[in-house]
Amino acid sequence: MQQSLKSKQVVLGVSGGIAAYKAVELLRLLVKEGAEVTVVMTENAKQFVTPLTFEALSGRPVYHEIFGNEASGSMEHIRAAEKADLMIVAPATANSIGKMTHGLADDPLSTLFSAFAGPVLVAPAMNDQMWANPAVQENIRILKKRGIGVIEPEAGELACGAVGLGRLAEPERLLTEIRKNLLRQTDFSGKRILVTAGPTREPLDPVRFITNRSSGKMGYAIARQARSRGAEVTLISGPTHLEPPFGVTLLNCQRTGEMAEQVLHHLPQCDVLIMTAAVGDFAPETVSKEKIKKSGEQSLVLNLHPTQDILQAVADKKTHQLIVGFAAESENVVQSATEKLRRKQLDMIVANDISAPGIGFQSDNNQVTLIDRHQKAESLPLLSKMEIADILLDRILAQLNDR
């Protein structure tokens, strides 16, 4: 049998819920696939499954006491676990999720999580009322925003007898998510990705400018995920308040003209261009050197000229590059985006409906439709921008491999 996870180092964190028995099955599947698994448990988890069960199946010491002895995992062993390829917490109780969100470290699981720098998956399991609790949902949102993968619980009969959303995902599904995550860790290595993000800013005078409401979150999420999947990433960004993602080359710009220059300069060295930037379509014809004064009640008339369309310029210059555009639409979303895909000669366009509340600009979530060059549309559900970034990168990779 093919062992797809051969020699992969995985940390399995188990917290105290009835679903801890499914972690035993997950461990069995991981070991069968060739993974080397270190199990870490909370005190409460031991009420459901003994450390010995996990130790026997993993063939390794189980870390279950912070101030323990050899039996709870040696320091050397714990240090090695911190460098594993992936950590999965299954089941993750509301309490463990709260600790992970707020940086608490008072048990073996939360301690190891705090020291773990690699990718983490969290599989919540709890009663449906707890899952619906606004504090838990807020914590989940924060974890997702930090790039932690959340494997949503399933609906069904719960341990408390109620029927609702909160059951731990089945071990096979957890395994699929682990495989996908491990595969994604290197699938972009050797690829050079150019991403634009944020708004542009066109000055009127030394203190005023024309801009738009783009936060840059989508572009930064793509840059971050592409980098974490092994790509060499250059991010050309208009003004935002965001932290630059680790390991990404950041180039700042303000005006459309500057962004166009930087994009065209870096285009020949990249394999993929993703234009998430909300590029301003108009700029003042003249920029006043001095602050414009008001003169009584007289209106001020601004003459605006259209800016350069960066993607149109890219269409004339591109050679082997795969080009992805974004389309913010408020009506006939798919139809208008498809029209832009054709006009700008794109390989893919990501359409989003900016009239829908709670998504799009500024938000951490979005609901988009991906349209490829054969005009095949794929509507995604409401997802975090990090999740959208990963799905978009999956589709881009499929197109690159298809060439």
Distance CA 324, CA 196 (A): 11
Specify the pairing of strand 120-124 against strand 86-92.
Answer: parallel
Give min distance, CB of 282 to ligand CTP, in A: 9
Q: Strand 36-41: give its sheet, edge to edge.
A: 36-41, 9-14, 86-92, 120-124, 149-150
Residue numbers 311-350 binding ligand CTP by CB under 6 A: 311, 325-328, 340
Q: Is the CB of 53 or the CB of 345 nearer to ligand CTP? A: 345
Amino acid identity at 218: M
H-assigned helices in 83-204: 94-102, 108-115, 128-132, 134-145, 171-184
Give min distance, CB of 280 to ligand CTP, in A: 7
Site string for ligand CTP, 241-270 (x = CB under 6 A): ---------------x--------------
Q: Which of 279, 341, 368, 392 binds ligand CTP (CB under 6 A)?
A: 279
Cis link prior to 153 (omega < 30° from 0)? no
Give min distance, CB of 220 to ligand CTP, in A: 15
Q: Which of 309, 339, 364, 372 binds ligand CTP (CB under 6 A)?
A: 309
Residue numbers 17-46 binding ligand CTP by CB under 6 A: none
Give min distance, CB of 211 to ligand CTP, in A: 13
Q: Which of 112, 182, 242, 310 binds ligand CTP (CB under 6 A)?
A: 310
Binding part of the chain for ligand CTP, among 95-103, 123-131, 309-317, 378-386 by CB under 6 A, reads 309-317
Burial-class residue 56 by CB neighbours within 10 Å (0-12, 13-18, 19+).
Answer: exposed
Please list, residue by residue across 143-153, b when 16 or more beta carbons sit within 10 angstroms of its beta carbon and e when fewer do. Answer: bbeebbbbbeb
Q: Which residue is nearest to ligand CTP (CB)?
A: 310
Q: Count of residues binding ligand CTP (CB under 6 A)?
A: 14
Please list, residue by residue across 352-369, b when 16 or more beta carbons sit within 10 angstroms of its beta carbon and e when fewer do. Answer: bbbeeeebbbebbbbbbb
Q: Which of 31, 142, 160, 354 is catalytic?
A: 160
Binding part of the chain for ligand CTP, among 84-92, 99-107, 227-235, 272-280 by CB under 6 A, reads 272-280
Q: Is the CB of 4 or the CB of 345 nearer to ligand CTP? A: 345
**Is 123:23 a contact under the CB 8 Å cutoff?**
no
Distance CA 254, CA 268 (A): 22
Give min distance, CB of 277 to ligand CTP, in A: 5
Q: Which residue has the tokens 């949503």?
A: 152
Give min distance, CB of 192 to ligand CTP, in A: 19
Residue 160 annotated as catalytic: yes
Q: Which of 275, 322, 392, 396 binds ligand CTP (CB under 6 A)?
A: 275
Biggest distance spanned by C-alpha atoms of the chain: 85
Q: Is the CB of 73 or the CB of 325 nearer to ligand CTP? A: 325
Distance CA 270, CA 320 (A): 9
Distance CA 131, CA 216 (A): 30
Query: Is 153 a binder of ligand CTP (CB under 6 A)?
Result: no
Note the residues at the interface with ligand CTP (CB under 6 A).
256, 275, 277, 279, 281, 307, 309-311, 325-328, 340
Residues catalogued as catalytic: 160
